[in-house]
Chain A
Amino acid sequence: GENVEQHPSTLSVQEGDSAVIKCTYSDSASNYFPWYKQELGKRPQLIIDIRSNVGEKKDQRIAVTLNKTAKHFSLHITETQPEDSAVYFCAATYEGINDMRFGAGTRLTVKP
């Protein structure tokens, strides 16, 4: 089955700086890669996703890149703000939503 590794486990940045979270996956057949943000005490919520037929996707201050050859994908947050502080989870799947595997999460802290 799919195995997803996520790094770093914790990340602290200054407000306005960029943050990058990286994930690797094991199954080359994986074709859908969502990112979830979980604020303290809240549910995980989808913030952006990417499919294997594109290499990059951007939505305002967040972007995701995918390198299928190397089997890794990354979340990029620019101009970070304190409200970006949360735990971020990456995930990968190749059978639609049947077999989605999550990374262990990255706790991002944005210091004002």
Chain B
Amino acid sequence: DARVTQTPRHKVTEMGQEVTMRCQPILGHNTVFWYRQTMMQGLELLAYFRNRAPLDDSGMPKDRFSAEMPDATLATLKIQPSEPRDSAVYFCASGSRETDTQYFGPGTRLTVL
């Protein structure tokens, strides 16, 4: 049963520190999404990639957030510098045109003190 994996599962850091979250999409999936979830905002799309190319990152604060796909098996989301308002659960999801749906990873729970 193939699944999307994310690391770390939990991260506690202090304001101003750099945070890097990693995602391994399901093998064969060519589209990767990053979402942020808070109690008040539901699932907020930050960015997504197809075939490793960024297609839309309009939901992402550009001054501190960056997303990349160094290769087909790894997507990263980086926050530098982090702020307390970035505290949330960050989900990665992957999919393909054949499946039409998105499969979510377990999430990274980020707490910025």
Contact = CB atoms under 8 A, between A and B. Distances in A.
Does chain A bind chain B?
yes
Q: Which interface class (under 10, 10 to 19, 20 to 34, 35 or more) fits B? A: 20 to 34
A97 B101 contact: yes
Interface residues of A, number: 20
Given A89-B43, A97-B96, A105-B42, A43 B31 contact: no
Contact of B101 (A34, A42, A101, A105): A34
A112 interface: no
B100 A32 contact: yes
A36 B102 CA distance: 10
B106 A43 contact: yes
B91 interface: yes
Interface stretch (A17-25, A44-52, A53-61, A65-73): A44-52
A100 interface: yes
B48 A98 contact: yes
8 contacts: A32-B101, A42-B106, A44-B43, A93-B100, A96-B97, A100-B102, A102-B42, A103-B42
Interface of A: 32, 34, 36, 42-46, 49, 89, 93, 96-98, 100-105
Q: Report, nearest first, the 8 A-B pairs whose CB atoms are least far apart.
A: A43-B104, A97-B95, A104-B42, A102-B43, A96-B97, A105-B42, A44-B104, A34-B101
